[in-house]
Chains A and B, each alone.
Chain A
Amino acid sequence: MRNAWIICRKEMGSYFTSPVAYLLLTVFAVIVGYFFRGLLGFFVYEGMEMQMRGQQFPMNLNERVIRPVLTNVGVIGLFFIPMITMRLFAEEKRTGTIELLATSPIRDLEIILGKWLAALGLYCCLLLFTALNFAFLFRYGNPDWKPLAVGYLGLLLQAGAVLAIGTFISSLTKNQIIAGAATFGVSLLLWVLEWESGYETTTWSRVLSYMSIIAHFESFARGTVDFKDAVFYITVIFLGLFFTARSLESLRWRS
């Protein structure tokens, strides 16, 4: 696993020596910050209105702010993940550096794991910036930190799954744009599959909506760890990385 760590550090290095990481961090922080501000503003407005009517208002920050913000972070993440994963293998294949990796005494699995971990690492950095927003809630309010932690765990699992899919797609092509666009399409589709259950009740549509990446986040956003949902994400991670390994192997046979 030492080798996976070497690859991971190298990938992190190339994220942070190019403007990619900083651009993603900035844009993500701005967008999430805007969502946070909107939701918080709505919460405050609602609270004031209720007070003026003399009604008792349950001031639950976890329910009214943290949960919707986390759900939104998950969805916004879907838009950013293609930009994280698209270069992972496509770039190496285009510049020919994949030959260096493939002729070094390391296993394919270590390469894949290292790259995926680096992508996950960058996503963690993105999440760190969202945590800044919640820091204000803790400063001026009194939310419960446990559901928040569970929410972040859910976000990581969810991102891990989509990142694994993105890693796989990146290993299929030499072209970063193709890898990015395809990953974006797939993650968008995995999001909207959830809608299927809204108007259909057939088995087929239930299966489809079960495949939705976002639907499984619901329980984590509520602050509960649902074993079933965690297993779903972990399965997708395994499948994604497994297919990447097969794809790298086929590279040697086809090339």
Chain B
Amino acid sequence: MFRPRTVPVQIGIDSCVARCHKTTNMIQVKDLTKRYARTTAVNHISFEVTKGRIVGFLGPNGAGKTTTMRMLTCFLPPSSGTATVAGLDVVEQPLEVKRRIGYLPETPPIYPEMEAAEYLSFVGKLKGLAGVDLRRRIDYVCERCAIGDVRNKLLGKLSKGYRQRVGLAQAIIHNPDVLILDEPTAGLDPKQINETRDLIKGLAGDHTIVLSTHILPEVEQTCEQVIIINGGKLVATDSVSNLRARARGAESVLLEVAGRNGTLEAPIVQHKLEQVPGVSRVLCKEQVDSRVLFEVESQKGRLVRGDLARAVVECGWDLNELRPAAMSLEEIFLQLTGTEPATGTEGVAAVEAH
């Protein structure tokens, strides 16, 4: 292409520097929409991700998480709206965006007939690495993702946990600015889940990470910022602590009470519990002989566990059990949106309760 000679060469560098300084937002998504023939998978989603952050993409299955991620990685073009990664538009400059993104799809994209090191070398070359750089990066990611001991094993013979780690290694091989991980812990056993989470947390300093999940504790443990979507729409985007405060505003407690002399009148206990200050609702869940299980909900912002325990003991009953009822994602949605999940009953069934 013809370029006038008077234009100083430095302009390119200047504008790059300017761009990098201007956008502390690594990812910027505006009104992103993806329509398929009959459904709208992602509906006018807007959010921003600050550089160096770990962001959790939370939502039930089929909420549009994968579709959004695929649009960010230039795998799918958006129907409307814009998305930029490091200031580059995913539609206009896909090759540049792809160079800056490491992507781990839901199933690690591995070739079973390849050895781990051979595979990493292949991916590294695809991403533009070569020679000494490539070898150094392979050594680095093998160490980082703890796959050194399977370097020369066929990927097809590896366990799910190792495959996931090879998938992660593949995503970071070219040291990308942005890491996009689609359900990185799905299908792993609890030990592997913990290892993977630690690994992801460890990567956060160097990369901006977006990870999707439908498991709430995962977000709480790994992420700094949460983006909740449901039915293709943005429900909330907030920091984890704020979200926790909003979701845990009301406490829900499971409580088992037993009578000393073998008899216990459930209605009496229920009445007594309802009189504890701060309690908004008491439900009798089940009764076996003289033991009764209650679910107690507090009013917003009140902690009632201590008072409940005291009340039970003071009345001369035994307190067999007292534990917080874990909030399911579904309940969080209900609290955050104040409505039924948009997908209706099927959506509720798809939500994994925790």
| Residues of A that sit less than 8 Å from B by CB | 3, 6-7, 10, 13-14, 17-18, 95-97, 99-107, 252-253, 255
Contacts and interface: CB of A to CB of B under 8 A. Distances in A.
B123 A97 contact: no
A96 B103 contact: no
Given A13-B114, A14-B114, A96 B75 contact: no
B211 interface: no
Interface in B98-126: 98-99, 101, 103, 105-107, 109-114, 118, 122-123, 125-126
B111 A97 contact: yes
A103 B123 CA distance: 11
Given A105-B128, A252-B75, A252-B77, A97 B110 contact: yes
Given A6-B122, A6-B125, A6-B126, A103 B73 contact: yes
A14 B74 CA distance: 27
B170 interface: yes
Contacts of A107: 95
B16 interface: no
B76 interface: yes
Nearest to B97: A105
Contacts of B98: 103-105
Contacts, number: 67
Contact of A18 (B70, B99, B105, B113): B113
Nearest to B37: A254
Contacts of A252: 75-77
B39 to A, nearest CB: 13
Contacts of A105: 95-96, 98-99, 126-128
B110 A104 contact: no
Given A14-B111, A96-B105, A103 B122 contact: no
Closest A-B pairs by Cβ, 8 of them: A100-B109, A105-B98, A104-B126, A97-B109, A105-B99, A103-B73, A6-B125, A17-B113
Nearest to B180: A103
Contacts of B128: 105
A99 B126 contact: no
A106 B74 CA distance: 12
A114 to B, nearest CB: 10
19 contacts: A6-B122, A7-B126, A13-B118, A17-B114, A96-B105, A97-B110, A99-B70, A99-B103, A100-B123, A100-B170, A101-B126, A104-B98, A104-B123, A105-B95, A105-B98, A106-B126, A107-B95, A252-B77, A255-B70
Sort chain B's interface into a size bin.
20 to 34
Nearest to A107: B95
Interface in B16-34: none
Contacts of B110: 97
Contacts of A96: 105-107, 109
B105 A10 contact: no
B105 A99 contact: yes
Given A10-B111, A13-B118, 9 more contacts: A95-B107, A96-B105, A96-B106, A97-B110, A100-B123, A102-B75, A103-B74, A104-B127, A253-B77
Contacts of B126: 3, 6-7, 100-101, 104-106
Contact of B113 (A6, A14, A101, A255): A14
A99 B76 contact: no
Nearest to A104: B126
Nearest to B95: A105
Contacts of B114: 13-14, 17
Contacts of B125: 6
Contacts of A100: 103, 105, 109, 123, 126, 170
A103 B101 CA distance: 8
Contact of A10 (B77, B95, B107, B122): B122
A252 B127 CA distance: 20
Contacts of A7: 126
Contact of B109 (A10, A13, A95, A255): A95
Contacts of B70: 99, 255
Contacts of B122: 6, 10
A97 B163 CA distance: 13
A219 to B, nearest CB: 40
Contacts of A14: 111, 113-114
A99 B127 contact: no
A103 B103 contact: yes
Nearest to B110: A97
